[in-house]
């Protein structure tokens, strides 16, 4: 390996810091929770989860945290995704697919608008 110049060191630091930042869980403002129960996974929650993470990465939206949870007791609407933003509070979407997942990022997270036709109400 060739020896580093100062510029190369900076490049490594920028690249690796971006990589490490993905592990960061502090200082996030938005939170997306994907329900990954058996029914959820069967209905395609995994595809949705992958789409969400990939979209966020592609658009470099680092303020959003994506986590998984178990069953949310609404199997008829699976896969269920809950989105929390400071402006809109907690909103749940049902029957999410990859297309809707992309819209959630674009319209809800970035655009700040709820996608009313896919919104569901979750029992506590």
Partner 1 sequence: MGYKNYILVCGGTGCESSRSDLIYRNLIEEAKAMGMADQVQVIKTGCFGFCEQGPIVKVLPEDSFYVQVKPEDAHDIIAEHVVKGREVTRLLYNKAPKSPLEEVEDIQFYQKQERIVLKNCGLIDPENIDDYIATDGYKALEKVLFEMTPEDVIAEMKTAGLRGRGGAGFPTWMKWNFTKQAEGDVKYVVCNADEGDPGAYMDRSTLEGDPHAVLEAMIICGHTIGAHQGFIYIRAEYPLAIHRLEIAMKQAREYGLLGKNILGSGFDYDIEIRLGAGAFVCGEETALLQSIEGHRGMPMPRPPFPATKGLWGKPTVINNVETWANITQIIYKGGAWFASIGTEDSHGTKVFALTGKVCNSGLVEVPMGTTLREIVFDIGGGIANGKKFKAVQTGGPSGGVITEADLDTPIDFGSLMRIGSMMGSGGMIVMDNTDCIVDVAKFYVNFTVDESCGKCFPCRIGGRSLLGLLDKITEGKGTQEDIKKLEEISLAMKKGALCALGQTAPNPVLSTLKYFPEEYEAHIKDKVCPSGKCKKLIHYEINKSKCIGCTACARKCPVGAITGTLKSPHQINTQVCIKCGVCKDTCKFSAIEVK
Q: How far is the CB of 107 from partner 1 (least distance, A)?
A: 21
The answer to whether the CB of 96 falls within 8 A of the CB of 79 is yes
Q: H or E element: which one contains 13?
A: helix 6-21
Residues numbered 34-73 forming contacts with partner 1, rule: CB under 8 A:
34-38, 41, 49-50, 53-54, 56-57, 65-70
- Please identify, using beta-carbon distances, which residue of 23 and 116 lies nearer to partner 1: 23
The answer to whether the CB of 79 falls within 8 A of the CB of 48 is yes
Query: CA-CA distance, 9 to 7, in Å (whole number)?
Result: 5
- Please identify, using beta-carbon distances, which residue of 10 and 113 lies nearer to partner 1: 10
What 3-state class would DSSP assign to 91?
strand
- Please identify, using beta-carbon distances, which residue of 16 and 110 lies nearer to partner 1: 16
Q: Angle CA(107)–CA(113)–CA(118) in degrees, nearest 5?
A: 75
For partner 1, the binding residues (CB under 8 A) are: 1-6, 9, 12-13, 16-17, 19-20, 22-23, 25-26, 31, 34-38, 41, 49-50, 53-54, 56-57, 65-70
């Amino acid at each position: 390996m060739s020896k580093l110049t100062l510029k190369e060191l900076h490049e490594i630091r920028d690249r690796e810091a971006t990589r490490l930042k993905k592990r960061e869980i502090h200082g996030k403002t938005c939170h997306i929770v994907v329900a990954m129960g058996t029914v959820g996974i069967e209905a395609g929650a995994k595809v949705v989860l992958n789409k969400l993470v990939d979209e966020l990465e592609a658009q470099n939206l680092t303020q959003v945290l994506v986590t998984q949870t178990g069953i949310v007791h609404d199997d008829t609407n699976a896969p269920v995704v809950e989105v929390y933003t400071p402006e809109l509070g907690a909103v749940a979407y049902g029957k999410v697919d990859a297309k809707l997942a992309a819209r959630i990022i674009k319209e809800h997270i970035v655009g700040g608008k709820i996608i009313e036709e896919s919104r569901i109400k979750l029992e506590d």
